[in-house]
Amino acid sequence: MNLNLFNTLTGKVEVLAPEPGKPLGIYACGPTVYDYGHIGNFRTFLEVDVLRRTLKLLGIPVRHVMNITDVDDKIIRNAAALNQPIGEYTARFEKAFFEDLDALRVQHPEIIARATEHIDQMVKLIQRLAENGAAYQTEDGSWYFRLAAFPAYGKLSKKDLTGMVDGARVDVDEYEKDSARDFALWKAAKPGETSWDTPIGRGRPGWHIECSAMSMEYLGETFDLHAGGEDLTFPHHENEIAQSESVTHKTFARHWMHVRFLLVEGRKMSKSEGNFYTLRDLLIKGFKASSIRLALISVPYSNQMNFTVDGLIDATAAIERLRTFHARLVEAHLEPGSTELKASAEQAETTFRAALANDLNTAEARAPIFELVRMANTALDKNQMLAGDRDAILETLVFFDSVFDVMEDHDAEATRHAIEWAVAEGRSAEIDPKLMAGLSLSDADVDNLIAERTAAKKSRNFARADQIRDELAEKGILIEDSKEGVRWKRK
RNA sequence: GCACCGGUGGCGAAGUGGCUAACGCGCUGGUCUGCAAAACCAGUAUUCGCGGGUUCAAUUCCCGCCCGGUGCUCCA
């Protein structure tokens, strides 16, 4: 099955397919590692994760490159304030970034490319641009891209620059540029700032050049897909196209995918609005990593989504439904054979795949899975499910989870890491007290208490049994009695 | 100001020129249960921001208005 994906460049939904015999090349803009990632950042990485998992589901091999921007103005400023080398400063946030990705079960790209490790490639690109007359050096030693050298500028963001007049917003720092809209390729070293000694002078790279240099390094001069947040369309991606195509005279990326922004509680996320969340903020407040993952990916990437605490609670309930069902299904004692439920499971899988193949419509993809859960629960209630049905349903769930990845419970681990981090950072006061109470009880402790409750129930000592259940509930542990025995879960 | 995107039940959110407008959460009633939980059943939008238009037929296409969001140089 083909993946149909909206292409920002053409404004149409088009088939995304690799060249015969080659993996599909993806370059996705990664983080600037100057702070902890917020949920807006992670929405983008999560949606790209949905993309790569869907490609795999459809049998399309992937070569996915992500950059790490580990040198820029903010990094230099913040590292200087702490009196640290920038490498030491960025290492901390890069590590945190990958811990967060792991908590959210975002698969790692095949290739991680750090800007500071590709200075040579960037310098060579700037040299080639200079040879073409598309780059020029100013008196202070900085290099700029000459927009006038690239008439197609604006084709991605659909901007017509002919009506834009120079001079309106000239940065005082950049008075030497030929045109106010020319952008920096290379920034001349300022005293005390991190810099590299290169054939084009001492300095550091501008922001856009790293993505051109590193995508070409790992994916070639033309590649299949470039992805990122919608804010990057202009100027970042537009500038990448200008730089790259001015050198190669070939199409840079054939397909462009942009993830829409999210709102938080109906408003733009911002620190001043008080609705700015890092992943870690949410984890230590007691929200589960899986809930955050499901909430963020359940709205298709192409739609603006409203991230809310209520939405997180909803996602938690939805995941509980799936996990409870899965446990019930696995435990059930079934006779051999199969019923029409088997065909329903196969149909659900087909619908699931088709929805994802249709521009990654995750909302539509979820629906047949939940419908299947309801049908299967009904059959289990009526004792009408057979072993062959179960096999088919489990298979469908495997495909579902190969993209959604919320069935298995890894949440306690992610939460524990976040708590350890908060303690180490001196932010213990922000940790939800119930979370701490729950963690004080080990799985073995819970099992022991449940055994005691079962014994109490057997001797019809319901008062004691209910007391144990209430005690556990206070620590966020819920008990479910079933035919197959007692199940429990951490809320 | 200019450009683009969106407004669907209590909430979130798909979708379609014409079958009962998915799915999740919530709520109400019932079944089951020692009581719960889980699960199931039934109910929960005669209607898709407002006003026009096109059409045999519009929530779906067109126009206007109102509201929300985003972009307009380094923010995913």
Mean pLDDT across the stretch A141-166? 79
Residue pair A289/A415 in contact (Cβ under 8 Å)? The answer is yes
Give, in Å, how far the C1' of B8 lies from the CA of A267.
20
Query: Region A280-307: what's the mean pLDDT?
Result: 94
Residues near A222 by beta carbon (within 8 Å), at least 6 away in sequence: A248, A250, A251, A252, A253, A254
| Paired strand residues for A68 | A114
The torsion angles phi and psi of A53, rounded to 5 degrees, stand at: -70, -35
Residue by residue, DSSP assigns A97-138 as HHHHHHHTTPPPPSEEEEGGG-HHHHHHHHHHHHHTTSEEE-
Integer distance in angstroms from the first to the last C-alpha of chain A? Answer: 39
Residue A3: pLDDT over 90:
yes
Say if residues A116 and A67 touch (Cβ distance below 8 Å): no
Report the distance separating Cα A133 and Cα A466, nearest Å. 80
Q: Measured in angstroms, what separates residue A303's CA from nucleotide B63's C1'?
A: 25
Identify whether the C-beta of residue A122 lies closer than 8 Å to the C-beta of residue A205: yes
Predicted confidence at residue A267, as pLDDT, reads 81
Q: Specify the pLDDT at position A163.
A: 46
* pLDDT for the residue A490: 86
pLDDT beyond 50 at A194: yes
Assess whether A378 (CB) lies less than 7 A from strand B: yes
Residue A488: pLDDT band by 50, 70, 90 thresholds? Answer: very high
- Which has the closest alpha carbon to A347: A399, A404, A403? A399
Residue A458: the pLDDT is: 92
Name the strands in the sheet holding A262-264, side by side, starting at the edge strand that comes first in the sequence: A267-268, A262-264, A305-307
Distance A352 CA to B56 C1' (A): 36
Does the nearest atom of strand B lie within 7 Å of A202's Cβ? no
Give the pLDDT confidence of A239-248 residue by residue, as tens digits: 999 999 999 9
Q: Report the pLDDT value the prediction gives residue A46, as an integer from 0 to 100.
A: 96
Å: A300 CA to B66 C1'? 27
Beta-ladder partners of A490: A477
- pLDDT at residue A392 greater than cutoff 90: yes
- SS3 label, residue A339: coil
* pLDDT average, residue stretch A48-74: 96
CATH topology of A3-259 equal to that of A264-404? no
Helices (H), A288-361: 289-298, 309-331, 340-357
Domain segments of chain A as ranges: 3-259, 264-404, 441-490
Q: Is A35 exposed, middle or buried (0-12, 13-18, 19+ CB in 10 A)?
A: middle
At A181 the three-state DSSP class reads: coil
Instruction: Name the residue with tokens 């900085």.
Output: A142
Please report the DSSP string for A378-432 in residue order: HHHHTT--BHHHHHHHHHHHHHHHHHH--SS--HHHHHHHHHHHHHHTT-GGGS-
pLDDT at A209: 95
Kindly tell me if the per-residue pLDDT of A171 is higher than 60. Answer: no
pLDDT at A174: 47
* Alpha-carbon span A413 to A313, nearest angstrom: 19
CATH class of A3-259: alpha beta
Measured CA to CA in angstroms, residue A424 lies from A38, A177, A429, A431, A473 at distances of 20, 47, 12, 12, 29
* Whether the Cβ atoms of residue A174 and residue A208 lie closer than 8 Å to each other: no
pLDDT band at residue A162 under the 50/70/90 scheme: low
User: Is the per-residue pLDDT at A92 higher than 90?
Assistant: yes
**Stretch (H or E) spanning A477:** strand A477-482
In this model, does residue A212 exceed pLDDT 50?
A: yes
Which pLDDT score, from 0 to 100, does residue A175 have? 52
Q: With a cut of 0.90, is the ipTM above it? A: yes
Residue A291 CB closer than 7 angstroms to strand B?
no
Residue A300 approaches strand B within 7 Å at CB? yes
Please tell me the class of the A264-404 domain.
Answer: mainly alpha
Kindly tell me if the per-residue pLDDT of A197 is higher than 60. Answer: yes
Q: Is the CB of A165 under 7 A from strand B?
A: no
Q: Which of residues 432-491 of A touch strand B (CB under 7 A)?
A: 457, 462, 465-466, 469, 478-482
Nearest C-alpha neighbor of A311 from the set A279, A287, A286: A287
Q: Highest-confidence range of A103-117, A142-156, A264-278, A462-476, by mean pLDDT?
A: A103-117
Whether A404 has a pLDDT exceeding 90, the answer reads yes
Burial A388-403 (b: 16+ CB within 10 A, else e): bbbebbeebbebbbeb
Supply A25's token pair.
């090349």
pLDDT digits (tens, 9 = 90+) for A304-332: 889 999 999 999 999 999 999 999 999 99
A204 pLDDT higher than 50: yes
Nucleotides of chain B in contact with protein CB (under 7 A) are 3, 5-6, 11-15, 22-26, 33-41, 68-76
Q: Copy the structure tokens of residue A106.
A: 């975002």
Q: What is the pLDDT of residues A431-486, one digit of tens each?
A: 998 888 888 888 999 999 999 999 999 999 999 999 999 999 888 899 999 888 89
Edge to edge, the sheet with strand A111-114 lists A111-114, A62-68, A24-28, A223-229, A253-259
- pLDDT for the residue A122: 96
Statement: residue A36 has pLDDT above 80: yes
Token pair recorded at residue A318 = 């939805």
Which of A145-149, A177-181, A389-393 has the weakest average pLDDT? Answer: A177-181
pLDDT band at A168 (very low <50, low <70, confident <90, very high): very low
Q: Which pair of tokens denotes residue A80?
A: 């200087």
Q: Is A13 left (phi over 0), alpha (psi -120 to 50) or beta?
A: beta
Instruction: Kindly indicate the confidence band of residue A169, based on its pLDDT and cuts at 50, 70 and 90.
Output: very low
The CA-CA-CA angle for residues A105, A106, A108, to 5°, reads 125
Q: CB within 8 A of A54, min separation 6: which ones? A: A3, A356, A357, A360, A403
Q: What is the pLDDT at residue A276? A: 87
pLDDT given at position A164 = 46
Residues A217 and A186: beta-carbon distance below 8 Å: no
Mean pLDDT in residue range A403-408: 97
pLDDT band at A116 (very low <50, low <70, confident <90, very high): very high
C-alpha A334/C-alpha A392 separation (Å) is: 13
Q: How far apart are CA A145 and CA A465, in angstroms?
A: 74
Average pLDDT of the residues of chain A: 92
pLDDT at A99 over 60: yes
